Amino acid sequence: MKRAATGSLLGLALGDALGYPTEFDDVPSILAKCGPWREMELPKRALITDDTQMTLALARGLRTAMDRGLLGPKRFERPLREEFVDWYQSPENNRAPGNTCLQACYLLMGGKPWEQASQVHSKGCGANMRVAPIGLVPGLSDEQRAGVAQLQSALTHGHPTALAASDLTAHAVRLLAEGVEPTGLVGLLRSYAYENRETYHERWLGELWKRGGAATPGAFIAQGWDECLDVLERLKDALRSPSPETDPCLATGAGWIAEEALATGLLCFLMFVDEPVTALRRAACTSGDSDSIACLAGAFAGAHLGAAAWPAEWTARIEHGDELRAFGTLWDS
């Protein structure tokens, strides 16, 4: 029993906490502050940021919805909205939260329909940095998993690339948790993107596409999948001759936007498949959105290797570790 859900949830939180102090620094400043990147230590107070806070909000919303019965868009949206608004108002929400989430959650708090709260021009990484639970929770059909991954994005980030990258990130976590070989992962993700290129999940997304300015629902979502396919191409090239000592953001992007966070998180994981802690350290020592990149690298590594991936002295002091472990236990059983 590798306990993929536990490993993935703890991994994402550890990456988040390791990358928190370095999020807004370039690589030379990080090296000056933290020393050699391969020896980076988890801070004594291992604080998580909005990445893990919103992952937990999503996990709670998902659990509430699934406890109530068959998962559908209405049943999912209500508790998720409540969790996002709770996060917005939480005193712990002081860890450099993203603007898109703040704006959308403010509108959700005021009771706006989610279709209107959704920031349709934003493809920030805020929706896929939190999506891992959807790849880990058992009992969803493929249609439900894709719909839920995209709808949870749409509550804040309604850009088609944010929707597609969230779906793809959840799919990657799912494949790794199920035991897919990491060497075949990028090919499987490209196939998934091609297969779903013109699939607009209307049951989940309603008329969101009309706010995006595309001619048809299929054309709206295809734009998102095409941007994901472009970045997967860059990732494939980067993996042909990996360069572990170079800032990964130079190959696949700084990760402030959704498809780049996915690709650079995957790059860090795939360069160090059997060294999960090194993968986290590489991801935290990047010029871009270090906490989100490391959060995703940790989610992938943990889904692949399970709970044993992480040092006990790190998992013992990660903030909200008990709740992360509780969700892991629930979904691993």
CA atoms within 13 A on the CB side of 112: 17
Counting contacts by CB under 5 A, is residue 289 touching Mg ion?
Answer: no
Q: Which of 6, 7, 40, 51: binder of Mg ion (CB under 5 A)?
A: 51
Residue 309 has what DSSP assignment? Answer: G
CA atoms within 13 A on the CB side of 81: 19
Identity of the residue, 253 or 306, whose beta carbon is nearer to Mg ion in the bound complex: 253
CB of 17 to Mg ion, least distance (A): 10
Q: What angle do CA 37, 38, 43 make, to 5 degrees?
A: 70
Please select the residue that binds Mg ion; options are 77, 167, 247, 291, rule is CB under 5 A.
291
11, 13, 50, 156: which one binds Mg ion (CB under 5 A): 50
Backbone angles phi, psi at 46, to 5 degrees: -85, 80
Closer Cβ to Mg ion, 51 or 227, answer by number:
51
Q: Using the rule CB under 5 A, which residue among 6, 22, 49, 161 binds Mg ion?
A: 49
- In residues, how long is the chain? 333
Q: Judge whether 50 is annotated as a binding position.
A: yes
Q: Is 247 in the site for Mg ion (CB under 5 A)?
A: no
Task: Name the 3-class secondary structure at 287.
Answer: coil
Quick check: 301 and 279 in contact, CB under 8 A? yes
Q: Is 260 near Mg ion (CB under 5 A)?
A: no
CB under 8 Å to 10, separation ≥6 — which residues?
298, 302, 307, 310, 315, 318, 321, 324, 325, 328
CB of 22 to Mg ion, least distance (A): 11
Stretch that binds Mg ion, among 63-71, 110-118, 275-283, 284-292 (CB under 5 A): 284-292
Distance between CA 291 and CA 30 in Å, rounded?
Answer: 13
Is 292 marked as a binding-site residue?
Answer: yes
Residue 77 found at the interface with Mg ion (CB under 5 A): no
Radius of gyration of the chain (CA): 18
Q: Which stretch in 59-67, 195-203, 243-251, 290-298 sits in contact with Mg ion by CB under 5 A?
A: 290-298
- Segment interacting with Mg ion (CB under 5 A) among 41-49, 141-149, 180-188, 195-203: 41-49
Comparing every residue's Cβ against Mg ion, the nearest one is: 49
Q: Please choose, out of 51-59, 78-86, 179-187, 218-226, the segment that lies near Mg ion by the rule CB under 5 A.
A: 51-59
Residue number, 77 or 319, with CB nearest to Mg ion = 319
Closest contact distance (angstroms) between CB of 292 and Mg ion is 6
Burial degree of 85 (CB within 10 A; 0-12, 13-18, 19+): middle
CB-side exposure of 273: number of CA atoms within 13 Å? 11
122 vs 196, beta carbon nearer Mg ion: 122
Site for Mg ion contains 55 (CB under 5 A) = no
**C-alpha–C-alpha distance, residues 12 and 7, integer Å:** 9
- 319: contact with Mg ion by CB under 5 A: no
77 vs 259, which CB is nearer to Mg ion? 259
Nearer to Mg ion, 50 or 77 (CB): 50
| Pairwise CA distance, residues 216 & 199, whole Å | 11
Distance CA 81, CA 295 (A): 23
Q: Is 51 marked as a binding-site residue?
A: yes
Report helix angle 321-332 to 50-67, nearest 10. 40
Q: Is 49 marked within a binding site?
A: yes
Residues 6+ apart with CB under 8 A from 320: 13, 48, 52, 56
> Which residues sit in the known binding site for Mg(2+)?
49-51, 289, 291-292
Q: Residues interacting with Mg ion, by CB under 5 A?
A: 49-51, 291
> Which residues sit in the known binding site?
49-51, 289, 291-292
